[in-house]
Amino acid sequence: MDHLDRLIELALDEDLGAAGDVTTSALVPPELRGTGTLLAKEPMVLAGLDAFARVFRRVDPRCTVEFLVPDGARVEAGTLVARLQGPLRGLLIAERTALNLMQRACGIATLSAEAADKVKGTKLKVLDTRKTAPGMRGLEKASVRAGGASNHRFGLFDGVLIKDNHIAAVGGSIRTALERARAHAPRLVKIEIEVTNLDQLREAIDAGADVVMLDNMDDALLREAVAIAGGKVPLEASGGITLERLPRLADIGVDFVSMGALTHSARAMDLSLNLDTSAS
């Protein structure tokens, strides 16, 4: 069972418990079938389609979901996104959990697209962070990609990111931190280091960092950093990033900018599932 299936099982467990959907049990005969249409109620970028469909199949394998537009599509308000059919009980039980996943995914994709649009045509890439809803890392990272932004490392395992506490732990030297990371880190992961001033940046470049993260620097400082790096090492701006600031950062010439807000503060998109009892 993969991580998304574990999350869906957990979500259904908390919504149903052992007692189940008491309204549906009381009112909907098990043999009744239904159909449904999923509509976008506002303009958005779609994401989370597979997650949406999995919830229905898990509740009742006889439920089917047919998507009319793919992940990553930019749709207008009123767009018909999917058609569903299956036992009405299953459709009703799965509805809320499926929407909770997909509305959040679409919210992230839409905000990511807004960010990516700000830097279109430049070399600047907008990255997400590890500030994701617990259990939804994979889905949220896929939603960021669906919106046209890029992923930072997935977790603590697929990239070295040296922060102030790590540097302090080896005695305060950026060089020592980079050397020790190089010696002990997995062979195929790159080493990024976070710096807060230009001296640290110089030391990091000098000691061979693969990527440098510039923490909470203003535009002037970032501009100096770009000059110092001179294209020898990719630079990532991080901290205090707003949508408005993105074009300026592209102009300054950093390579990456990471924004926690893409995942931790996206609002849910308005999607509506209309169900009907099917004629059958």
Catalytically active residues are: 96, 131, 163, 194, 215
* Triad 203, 204, 208: Cα angle to 5°: 115
Residues in contact with a second copy, counted by CB under 8 A, come to a total of 93
Binder of a second copy out of 165, 220, 231, 279 (CB under 8 A): 165
Closest separation between CB of residue 184 and a second copy, Å? 4
Contact segment (CB under 8 A) with a second copy among 70-78, 79-87, 215-223, 270-278 equals 270-278
Binder of a second copy out of 65, 177, 195, 254 (CB under 8 A): 177
CA distance 155 to 165: 18
CA distance 82 to 131: 30
CA distance 267 to 259: 15
Closest separation between CB of residue 66 and a second copy, Å? 17
Q: Does 231 bind a second copy (CB under 8 A)?
A: no
Q: Does 184 bind a second copy (CB under 8 A)?
A: yes
Contact 46, 106 (CB under 8 A): yes
Closest separation between CB of residue 131 and a second copy, Å? 6
Q: Does 168 bind a second copy (CB under 8 A)?
A: yes
Q: Does 183 bind a second copy (CB under 8 A)?
A: yes
196-215: contacts with a second copy (CB under 8 A)? 210-211
42-81: contacts with a second copy (CB under 8 A)? none
Sheet holding 211-215, edge to edge: 125-127, 256-258, 235-238, 211-215, 191-195, 160-162
CA distance 210 to 224: 19
Q: Which two tokens stand for residue 10?
A: 């957990």
Binder of a second copy out of 32, 39, 221, 226 (CB under 8 A): 32
Closest separation between CB of residue 59 and a second copy, Å? 10
CA distance 227 to 143: 34
